[in-house]
Structure 1
Amino acid sequence: MGGCVSTSSRSNCSNRSRGEAVSPTFFDIGCCWSKRAKRTFSDHVIGLQHLPSVPNRIFTNGESRSSCIFTQQGRKGINQDAMIVWEDFMPEDVTFCGVFDGHGPHGHLVARKVRDALPLKLLSSWHSCQSRQNGSGQTCFKGSSEKKSDGGDSEKEVSAEERLTSLWREAFMKSYKAMDKELRSHSNLDCFCSGSTAVSIVKQGSDLFMGYIGDSRAVMGSKDRNDLMVAIQLTVDLKPDLPREAERIKKCNGRVFALQDEPEVCRVWLPFDDAPGLAMARAFGDFCLKEYGVISVPEFSHRILTERDQFIVLASDGVWDVLSNEEVVKIVSSALSRSSAARILVDSAAREWKLKYPTSKMDDCAVVCVFLDGKMDMESDYEEQGFSSATLQSYHSGNAGESDDGRNRSEPCLQRNFTVRSSEESGRLCPVEFEGDVDTASGEDQNWSGLEGVTRVNSLVQLPRFSEERPNQ
């Protein structure tokens, strides 16, 4: 849930509604590779300061050459969802896109930090792995559609495909590990009880590589043999009730169980305290649970795209809580224009929240729609449908807490956050006190119970309170 620049940079890139190229290019700012120059992680830290100058990178409501993205704040406080589409991520038709759903008091900052830093870490890891694999600094960006030679040997093709997949798998694993390590050591960002999901995709030619943690999801719209649109789920919601996830957590002395008033929602708990009640098994941050089975190791998968595959939708769980995969694919495929698909999907999710859970607070929603044929509407969809710049700006304000220049409108503090339930809401659980102003809400809103009918109520139940002497493990 969120969208601001990483703490190592105080500026942010402006919204490029159609991904216009600007100068300097990405390869002018310290991320190009050659045989003569060996890039290190420090080069990419410097690169964070130049993100506003990177062309074809969008992270706020808008569209690019082949994608559209949209987010809308829910009613639980600041928008903690973040999203990104980065076309020309690498040469030869390589695109990166991701959705990140933060949780906890500083979840919005974690999600935004991951949004900005993870792609650069992935680039660094990819280059490192590729250089070691090839024994040189020469890069090869050929996708599977370009690897087939005239009368080529099938064994060599399979070997090349396996090498490419292995390279990206290692790059995803290393970059996710490096991202979590940086969050742990970050001096200005408290991730002890705050974290973020991540679903990230790299499209390289006709190859699709995916790495993901948490319960944000990716779904693809594809046509079957009868030319009918069908939904194909690309990722798995990594929640604590999955047998392998629960087994790992229990082996690490973490506890997995659901509260009586939400029996369908399994959560992760500390061994010595009924907190924090994390509703996912893998996440960035959440270091209070990292010793007890919650990990940041991503699931990785590879898929070869075909001509029948039409588009990919990445979204936070605010969308999936109220819409099925089939409904999402139907909404996107029937949108009046491609550039409006993400916004229409978020609007549909907002309506479903009101219809299905009228007494509950809507969660933040973030959507990325990537059209695989690389095409987008020629004219502005907002102008065609009568959306004024003021209306669009009101939608953009859904990124609460982030101004146009990327600065937070208010500095974060450990205050009441609606992803953490009050003592009245958590029943037998101990209350948690916060200093600072309470998020703006009416009295009726503050008396709201998050347990009324929502499939996945809040990512956290409450923050743990540690005494000076922790019980013996």
Structure 2
Amino acid sequence: MGKEKASAALFDQLQAAIEGGEGEEIVGKMKGIVVFDIDGEKWTLDLTPGSRSVKKGAPEGKPDLTLTISDENFVKLVMGKMGPQQDAWVIHEGLGGQNNLLLAVFDGHGQEGDKVSRHVAATLPGLMANSSAFRAKRFKQCCEEQFPACNASLRKLKTVNSMLSGSTGVIALLQASSSLFAGSRLLVANIGDSRCMLGRISSTGVVSSVSLSVDHIPDVPSEAARIRAQGGRLEPYTIGGEQMGPTRVWLADKDTPGLSMTRAFGDTIASSVGVIAQPHVLEITLEPEHQYLVLCSDGIYEFMSNDEIVGIVHAEAEKGALPAQIAKLLVQTARHQWMAEEDGGVDDCTAIVCFLTRGNLKPGALTPAPLPPSPAAAGISRPSISRHAALRMSGTPLVDLPQQIDVAANATQAATAPLPKAPSGSASGRKLTAEGGQSILAAITQGR
């Protein structure tokens, strides 16, 4: 699996370079038939006039140029430094003047995926809070209306090209109660493949996960049927006659866009063949056995099952670890697995961990906080090589955050000003405390 994914990723890099994306400054200067010999694996670029293509294997004739290079140096040459982190997350207490807690993770993809995920994170909560359905507590209807509305707002932006870029989205909306969240209503809505799960501890101590989101991928029969009905084509990458990697969405007669999910914000080209921004929505009542809530991007679960993720959360919580420590451990564990499985390649990793039954909320912790005039959300992690969060609490911007911060939950909003850079290499975090100073919630994100 690792080799297939690595080859597919390599194809992505070459394809982006010859189509004028990342690496164009290198590939754009080449002419004719160019062969990259990358750690013994040959890739042929046809850069003759009127043709720009890439395929696995050696050319039929003699190439005009052959470059022998290691995989590590190839990435540096063609891709330059790794691109911006494309994950964003949201923590917002008292959304729309109600006694609730909104959590969300957005995972961007494509050349401008970071811009897409940031726009959705900054826009969707405000659209929800200002809708009549939200004010009437018809939260399912609200999500079904406002996810597409957020997608429409994205397409109107002149500063973001979402033709071949997009983002997943998963949100969890909790209604607080005096015993923290036990007995509360929980709504989860998602598009794409970012996940939300519960950690359930049975009366006999058995730990298990409860999936609350749906992976919208071409392997789901109902999703595949919609794509085909809209004229889309579903198949993996075909490189040198060999299929590899996951099934992807393509136009009927063109090898684009190659999207590995069937629902997303953005992805305008893919939307012409059935990729939609309509969410799957689930509403449940939390029980005492539901002790943890986890939201994460696919970088976390690529090499871990939901049960393994919940197992880590529970094991660490039993040792007295705080949510911020657990979220950080999930990110670190996922990154180590990526480096082991993918020869050093690492996806963006974001995890939100929430304790549902440990302790009681501080009095007034979820005091309704009105949104600013323009839609915004709290706790957005800036997608960049340097990770940080920019929050506004009681009107005071908090920037260049350390790895973990404590904030009182009332009146927390997002900074609407441009987000400044944080110290390089730091992981951004956010923590909500309960009565007695006990931490119940944290978000940690780290890029490639």
Q: TM-score, normalised by structure 1?
A: 0.56
Structure 1 segment 263-282 matched on structure 2, within 5 A: 263-282=244-263
Q: Match for residue 301 of structure 2?
A: 320
Change (3 A) 1:105 1:221: same
The answer to whether the Cα contact below 8 Å between 1:79 and 1:401 also exists between their aligned partners in 2 is no
Q: Match for residue 21 of structure 1?
A: none
Change (3 A) 1:239 1:360: farther
1:344 to 307, 329, 351: 329
Change (3 A) 1:339 1:187: same
Deviation at 1:396, TM superposition (A): 9.7
Change (3 A) 1:262 1:118: farther
- For residues 276-301 of structure 1, the C-alpha deviation after alignment (integer angstroms, 9 at most, x for no partner) is 10000000000011111100000111
Q: Which has the higher contact order (CA 8 A, sep 6+)?
A: 1
SS at match of 2:272: helix
The answer to whether the Cα contact below 8 Å between 1:339 and 1:376 also exists between their aligned partners in 2 is no
- Alignment length (residue pairs): 284
The answer to whether the Cα contact below 8 Å between 2:83 and 2:385 also exists between their aligned partners in 1 is no
Alignment of 1:399 with 2:387, yes or no, is yes
The answer to whether the Cα contact below 8 Å between 2:85 and 2:384 also exists between their aligned partners in 1 is no
Cα distance in structure 1, aligned partners of 2:218 and 2:420: 33
Cα distance in structure 2, aligned partners of 1:228 and 1:397: 39
Q: Match for residue 31 of structure 2?
A: none
Alignment of 1:334 with 2:305, yes or no, is no
SS at match of 2:312: helix
Deviation at 1:92, TM superposition (A): 5.5
The letter of the residue matching 1:252 is Q
Q: Match for residue 111 of structure 1?
A: 117
1:354 to 333, 339, 342: 339
The answer to whether the Cα contact below 8 Å between 2:297 and 2:351 also exists between their aligned partners in 1 is yes
Cα distance in structure 2, aligned partners of 1:288 and 1:396: 25
The answer to whether the Cα contact below 8 Å between 1:266 and 1:279 also exists between their aligned partners in 2 is yes
Determine which structure has the larger strand proportion and give its number.
Answer: 2
Alignment of 1:213 with 2:191, yes or no, is yes
Deviation at 1:355, TM superposition (A): 2.5
Q: Match for residue 79 of structure 1?
A: 85
The letter of the residue matching 2:114 is H
- Mind listing any 5+ residue stretches in structure 2 that lack a counterpart? 1-80, 177-183, 363-382, 391-398, 401-416, 422-448
- Mind listing any 5+ residue stretches in structure 1 that lack a counterpart? 1-74, 132-138, 140-163, 379-394, 410-473
Deviation at 1:91, TM superposition (A): 4.9
Cα distance in structure 2, aligned partners of 1:401 and 1:200: 18
Q: Match for residue 89 of structure 1?
A: 95
Change (3 A) 1:130 1:100: closer
Change (3 A) 1:280 1:360: farther
Identity in percent: 32
The letter of the residue matching 1:237 is D
SS at match of 1:96: strand
Cα distance in structure 1, aligned partners of 2:169 and 2:359: 26
Cα distance in structure 2, aligned partners of 1:334 and 1:397: 31
SS at match of 2:309: helix
SS at match of 2:205: coil
Alignment of 1:299 with 2:280, yes or no, is yes
The answer to whether the Cα contact below 8 Å between 1:221 and 1:312 also exists between their aligned partners in 2 is yes
1:290 to 271, 287, 292: 271
Q: Match for residue 244 of structure 1?
A: 222
RMSD (Å), alpha carbons: 2.7
Structure 1 segment 401-420 matched on structure 2, within 5 A: 404=400, 406-407=418-419
